[in-house]
A and B are shown apart, each in its own frame.
Chain A
Amino acid sequence: QSVLTQPPSASGTPGQRVTISCSGTISNLGNNFVYWYQHLPGTTPKLLIYKNNQRPSGVPDRFSGSKSGTSASLAISGLRAEDEADYYCASWDDTLKGSVLFGGGTKLTVL
């Protein structure tokens, strides 16, 4: 069971805007940055958002991230068929000696 909670699924039609939520606690999202990954089957995960809302070069500005308190969200605007993938949030957790936590993942379907 993941400590970072994501909805298992999300969907939208081409052109729509969808958001994926990630809920945590003080020891992870409350005190630390959130990171978002896109994972397509058979490939390695791709970093979409770092430090809550920063995009690595090459990631389209259709992808945006935000965080407030112990919750974060990833927004995808102008949805495209190629956005169909699994999306994961991740954060450092300060509990005990510390560790990295991943959310359970959200399967995005483009209808």
Chain B
Amino acid sequence: QVQLVQSGPEVRKPGASVRVSCKTFGYMFTNYYIHWLRQAPGHGLEWMALINPSDGGTTYGRNFQGRVTLSRETSTNTVYLDLNNLKSDDTAVYFCARGIFTVPNYDFWGQGALVTVSS
């Protein structure tokens, strides 16, 4: 069955970087886009970026341009989110979600990964 399994919680200091992975199972990896969203404590959902696993093409949200990089590894059906120059307000639960192209039509989600940024 379709599953998106994310890496575990991370703690980082301000200014550091973090990588969150999203390993997919149960479907053709290159047939669906992967989107990344996050939810900070007390805040709503915020879209960050998407990747087309077929060709590696990416689109980044304006709030994250220059700080986020998405990549994929087709041999392991895994997508990676790299976020650098972390700030305390990057503390959030980060979700990957399977989407149909670029639109926010998500049928399966990862379980979420808590990233805590604290000195």
Contact A105 B95, CB 8 Å, known A99-B61, A100-B61: no
The reply to whether B59 and A97 form a contact with Cβ atoms under 8 Å apart is yes
Measured CB to CB, the closest approach of chain B to A78, in angstroms, equals 25
Instruction: Count residues of A near B (Cβ-Cβ below 8 Å).
Output: 27
A37 within 8 A of B: yes
What residue in chain B is nearest A42 (Cβ atoms)? B112
**Which residues of B approach A to under 8 Å, CB–CB?**
35, 37, 44-47, 50, 59-62, 95, 97, 102-107, 109-112
Contact of A45 among B62, B103, B109, B111 (CB under 8 A): B109
Question: Which of A35, A101, A103, A104 is in CB contact (< 8 Å) with B105?
Answer: A35
Q: Which residues of A contact B37 (CB under 8 A)?
A: 102
Q: In the complex, which residues of chain B have a beta carbon less than 8 angstroms from the beta carbon of A105?
A: 44-45
* B100 (CB) vs chain A CBs: closest residue: A50
Q: Enumerate chain B residues within 8 angstroms of A33, measured Cβ to Cβ.
A: 103
Q: Are B107 and A32 in contact (CB under 8 A)?
A: no
Q: Is the interface of B mostly helix, strand, loop or mixed?
A: strand
**Is A47 an interface residue, CB under 8 A from the partner?**
yes
A90 close to B62 (CB less than 8 A): no
The smallest C-beta distance from B99 to any residue of chain A, in angstroms, reads: 9
- The 7 sampled A-B contact pairs (Cβ below 8 Å) are A35-B103, A37-B45, A44-B97, A44-B109, A45-B95, A50-B105, A100-B47
Q: A92-B102, A92-B103 are in contact. List 14 more A-B contacts (CB 8 A).
A: A37-B45, A45-B45, A45-B109, A50-B105, A51-B105, A56-B107, A90-B47, A96-B62, A99-B60, A99-B61, A101-B47, A102-B37, A102-B45, A105-B45
How long is the Cα–Cα vector from A32 to B109 in the complex, in angstroms? 23
A44's partner among B35, B95, B103 (CB-CB below 8 A) is B95
